[in-house]
Structure 1
Amino acid sequence: MLGIAIGIATILGLGLITDGLSESTQNALTEGAADFSVVAVSSGPGQGQGQGGGMQGGPGGSSQQLINQTTVDEIASISGVESVTGVLRSNMFDDSTNSTNQTDQSSTQGPNQASMQMPITILGIDSQNLEMEDVEVTNGTTYSSSDEVIIGKTAANSLNKTIGDSVSISNKSFEVVGIYETGDTMQDGGIIMSLSSLQDLTNNTGKVSFILVKASDSSNANSLAETIENKYSNLTTTTSLSGMQRMNQGLDIINTGAWAVSLLAILIGGIVVVITMVKSVSERTREIGVLKAVGWPKQSVLLMIIAESVVMAVIASVIGIIIGVGCVELLSMTNLIPFIQPAYSATLFLKALIIGILMGIIGGLYPAYRASKLAPTEALRYE
Structure 2
Amino acid sequence: MTATKELHQAGQSIWIDDITRSMLDSGRLAKMIAEFSVTGLTSNPTIFEKAIGSGSDYDAAAEALVRKGLSDEELFFELALDDLRRAADLFRPIYDRTSGVDGWVSLEVSPLLAYDADATIAEAKRLYAKADRPNLFIKIPGTHEGLPAIEAATFAGVPVNVTLLFTTGDYLAAAEAYVRGLERRVAAGLDANVRSVASVFISRWDRAIVEDVPDAIKNRLGIAIGQSAYRAYRELIASDRWQRLENAGARPQRLLFASTSSKDKRATDTLYIDKLAAPNTVNTMPEDTLRAFADHGTASDLLAANGGDCDAIFAAHADAGVDVEALGRKLQADGAKAFVASWRDLLASIASKTKALA
TM-score (norm 1): 0.21
TM-score (norm 2): 0.22
Greater C-alpha Rg: 1
